[in-house]
Structure 1
Amino acid sequence: MIDINLLRTNPELVKWSQRKRGEDDSIVDKVLEYDKLWRETIRKINDLRKERNKKSAEVAKLKKEGKLEDLERIRKEMKELNSKIEELEKKEKEYKELRDRLLMSIPNIVHETVPDGLSEEDNVPIRFWGHFKVWEGYLDVFKEQLKGHNVDYEIISWKPKSHVDLLEELDIGDTKRAAKVAGSRFYYLKNELALLDLAIAIFAIEELVKKGYTPVIPPYMLRREAMEGVTDLSAFEEMLYKIEDEDLYLIATAEHSIGAMFMDEILEEKDLPLKFVGFSPCFRKEAGAHGRDTKGIFRVHQFHKVEQFIFSHPEDSWSLHEEITRNAEDLLQKLGIPYRVVNICAGELGAVAAKKYDIEAWMPA
């Protein structure tokens, strides 16, 4: 959740960020309106409590002096004060809930280097790496994706096979039997592919441990309170699996569990940064993904992922963001996989992101 003090001191920055994302900036004024009502109500409550305390002191004095007639009057006034305080406390709670509900829906402040734009067509490739083998039938699309960059590529005349076909031909995966027992977009990994999945994960973890990252296998489920602290649950909830009749959600990424690790704790600045590499299965409903990369083992409901996560001082976060990007690139380079790094435009950023790079591996099929 955005710090309310940021809206109080620099509402124009938040409005600028909202407009850059293509979002309504009037929400900032609505939050500040409820915040003003909340603060005014708090002030009124405090004033009435002070008055009540004075009356309470008068009661003690009148009791001592035996002035029963005045005592009854003061008690009546205190009863009226208590009634007013109780009514204002209800309003205070209501204003705070309305303010915080709106505040929760305001996404992170966009970094100034994030490209303008509202769709994936506005994402900006910033660098390419590797030797790209491009099927001649895909050449025009490939050149469009370069967006003016010069890259090392060769044209091949034979059409590469899809991974969907290779799963069956090499007997390394089975989506049909998985669909039979679990439904669509699940899979069995078999033989060499099962070993490769584990080997790549271990390779990535070991490489990051060498760079000072602490390996973590986190909880695969989180309570709602913890999940709300690490993601915009109002927007992301449809992607999550919830355990029936339990206050638990299956994680969609190890980032969720690691991000919640120090919930309700204060981290000392001297101990930062804290660097973690997490490994977990990830569970996603992938609602709304019908017809898009749904064959084979793309856009599935369950997969393994290695996740980098750093707790840092805000001033260091941008350089560390570049660090984790370099780490991911190093892994792809050691594996010899061509890729491009894309700076995601403001309209495509998730609510919790201030800036985001996508590293897109080249898939010739």
Structure 2
Amino acid sequence: MIDLQRLRDEPDVFKASQRARGADESLVDDVLSADAARRSALTAFEAARAQQKSFGKQVAQAAGEEKAALVAEAQELSARVKALQADADDAEFAFDTLLRRLPNLIIEGVPSGGEDDSVEIRSEGTPRDFTADGFEPKDHVELGESLRAIDTQRGAKVSGARFYYLTGFGARLELAMLTMALDTVEAHGFIPTITPTLVKPEVMAGTGFLGEHADEIYRLEADDLYLVGTSEVPLAGFHMDEIVDLSDGPKRYAGWSPCYRREAGSYGKDTRGILRVHQFQKVEMFSYVRTEDAEAEHARMLAVEEDMLAKCELAYRIVDIAAGDLGDSAARKFDTEAWIPTQGTYRELTSTSNCTTFQARRLKIRERVESGTRPVATLNGTVANTRWLVALLENHQQADGSVRIPEALRPYMGGMTAYGPNGPIHS
């Protein structure tokens, strides 16, 4: 939810944000009109209710025929108050419905446009030249099958398309990577957290995921609960309806959880392998910070992601995501994309978003300041997920069919330096 007072004071700023997103800027005027109607209806209701209270005293003091006449008039006034209350409730509902459609105000400097308009900030590392190594790289599916690490056929047999099994080396590698990710974020001050993966509608809505991308979410109708697509959601709900103490600095959490996404609208995209799947594991950072510190925290999260990419010895680039490709809650988002050899391009591995006060206003998360309380800012960022296996396998494969383990990962793999068709390699 956006800052309503700022919307009233600076509607043109919000209209410019909507244009940058490629969204309907007339929604700003619609929200303001609904706000005016809501306030007018509430004023009329409160005036009538005050009149009703005052009139009640007159009735109590009257007697005889005068009292009978006043009682009849009081009944008419009561009916009017009820009608005005209904009008005020309807106006409030109409306003709230429109307000929840308005996405977060983007931060100045975010590129305008859609997916093709995102801007590369910089790249790190050099994509591996397999020509110099003298062999043609295999994709992660072929590698995973030859190493008995990934089984998509049985995943589809049991659960349908975009499901898979990780077995043996694949299971060990994912657990090692995620454990290293958790150790990495803990070293940066984030509290390790195992989160719920089912949340109530108000939590899912509060984080902004029930907007235009609601069709990506699995819902359990019988229980009125949602399966999360990221632990950002339960971590955002952790301090819902609370006043948090940020006097000692930000509150930082790192959630490890399975995640579920319907991948609606992705028919025909990345159908091979585990780049785009319905279920995966992820370690996610989440911070509650003062509004003044939000952009610095965003940079901090990006640095943590880069630390993890460096440990995995992956060439990558950082992209400033265009406004039209942001989710409703994000005011700015940076993606880190790793080089995928068999696709000859960079693909997203992580993202980090500054949601400013958008989620906190919806979830009623505040901090105390001298003037009272105010919303905090929330930020999130992925440190590692199942998709990383694609980049690890493809970039670190060897001519003999084995996969080299990056040095930082080796302690988490029992000292294994590589894994080949015949099993673990220690050298």
Q: TM-score, normalised by structure 2?
A: 0.78
Q: Show CA shifts across 1:305-354 (max 9, x none).
A: 11010011111111101100010001111221110000011111111110
Q: Show CA shifts across 1:88-126 (max 9, x none).
A: 1111111111111111111111111211222x2211111
Give the partner amino acid of 2:113.
Answer: G
Q: Relative to structure 2, which stretch is displaced further, 108-117 or 298-307? A: 108-117
Q: Relative to structure 2, which stretch is displaced further, 3-12 or 241-250? A: 3-12
Question: Which residues of 2 match residues 285-364 of structure 1 at below 5 A?
Answer: 285-364=262-341
1:284 to 223, 245, 261: 261
Higher helix content, 1 or 2: 1
Q: Which residue in 1 is equivalent to 2:11?
A: 11
Give the partner amino acid of 1:260.
Answer: G
Instruction: Report the aligned-residue RMSD.
Output: 1.4
- 1-structure distance, mates of 2:170, 2:318: 26
Q: Which residue in 1 is equivalent to 2:58?
A: 58
- 2-structure distance, mates of 1:2, 1:351: 11
Matched, 1:234 2:230: no
Q: Secondary structure at the match of 2:213?
A: helix
Once the two structures are TM-superposed, the CA of residue 234 in structure 1 deviates from its matched residue by 3.0
- 2-structure distance, mates of 1:272, 1:8: 31
Q: Which residue in 2 is equivalent to 1:143?
A: none
Q: 1:114 to 1:135 in 2, by over 3 A?
A: farther
Q: Any gaps of 5 or more consecutive residues in structure 1?
A: 137-154
Q: Secondary structure at the match of 1:215?
A: strand
- 1-structure distance, mates of 2:152, 2:192: 31
Q: Which residue in 1 is equivalent to 2:346?
A: none
1:191 to 148, 168, 171: 168
1:213 to 181, 190, 202: 190
2:117 to 100, 116, 122: 122
Once the two structures are TM-superposed, the CA of residue 239 in structure 1 deviates from its matched residue by 0.8
For the 8 Å contact 1:215–1:277, the answer to whether it is kept is yes
Q: Secondary structure at the match of 1:235?
A: coil
Matched, 1:73 2:69: yes
- 2-structure distance, mates of 1:178, 1:285: 16
Give the partner amino acid of 1:358.
Answer: D
- 2-structure distance, mates of 1:94, 1:54: 26
Matched, 1:259 2:236: yes
Give the partner amino acid of 2:253.
Answer: F
For the 8 Å contact 2:211–2:328, the answer to whether it is kept is no
For the 8 Å contact 1:105–1:232, the answer to whether it is kept is no
Once the two structures are TM-superposed, the CA of residue 9 in structure 1 deviates from its matched residue by 2.0
Give the partner amino acid of 1:304.
Answer: Q
Give the partner amino acid of 2:107.
Answer: H
Question: Which residues of 2 match residues 132-151 of structure 1 at below 5 A?
Answer: 132-134=127-129
Once the two structures are TM-superposed, the CA of residue 271 in structure 1 deviates from its matched residue by 5.0
Question: Which residues of 2 match residues 12-91 of structure 1 at below 5 A?
Answer: 12-62=12-62, 67-91=63-87
Q: Secondary structure at the match of 1:234?
A: coil
Once the two structures are TM-superposed, the CA of residue 56 in structure 1 deviates from its matched residue by 1.0
- 1-structure distance, mates of 2:318, 2:189: 24
Once the two structures are TM-superposed, the CA of residue 28 in structure 1 deviates from its matched residue by 0.9
Q: Show CA shifts across 1:142-194 (max 9, x none).
A: xxxxxxxxxxxxx6664311111111111111010111110011000011111
Q: Which residue in 2 is equivalent to 1:145?
A: none
For the 8 Å contact 1:272–1:311, the answer to whether it is kept is no
Give the partner amino acid of 1:215.
Answer: P
For the 8 Å contact 2:20–2:111, the answer to whether it is kept is no
1:112 to 108, 113, 130: 108
- 2-structure distance, mates of 1:29, 1:329: 41
Q: Which residue in 2 is equivalent to 1:93?
A: 89
For the 8 Å contact 1:218–1:279, the answer to whether it is kept is yes
- 2-structure distance, mates of 1:135, 1:31: 56
Q: 1:334 to 1:237 in 2, by over 3 A?
A: same
Q: Secondary structure at the match of 2:121?
A: strand
Q: Secondary structure at the match of 1:357?
A: strand
- 2-structure distance, mates of 1:288, 1:314: 35
Q: TM-score, normalised by structure 1?
A: 0.91
Give the partner amino acid of 2:66.
Answer: D
Once the two structures are TM-superposed, the CA of residue 134 in structure 1 deviates from its matched residue by 4.2
Q: Relative to structure 2, which stretch is displaced further, 87-96 or 319-328? A: 87-96
1:103 to 99, 102, 112: 99
Query: Number of residue pairs matched?
Result: 342
Give the partner amino acid of 1:68.
Answer: G
- 2-structure distance, mates of 1:31, 1:268: 33
Once the two structures are TM-superposed, the CA of residue 258 in structure 1 deviates from its matched residue by 0.3
For the 8 Å contact 2:147–2:169, the answer to whether it is kept is no
Higher strand content, 1 or 2: 2
- 2-structure distance, mates of 1:271, 1:74: 61
- 2-structure distance, mates of 1:82, 1:254: 49
Q: Which has the higher contact order (CA 8 A, sep 6+)?
A: 1
Give the fraction of aligned pairs with identical amino acids, expressed as a percent: 39
Q: Secondary structure at the match of 1:319?
A: helix
For the 8 Å contact 1:231–1:256, the answer to whether it is kept is no
Q: Any gaps of 5 or more consecutive residues in structure 2?
A: 343-427
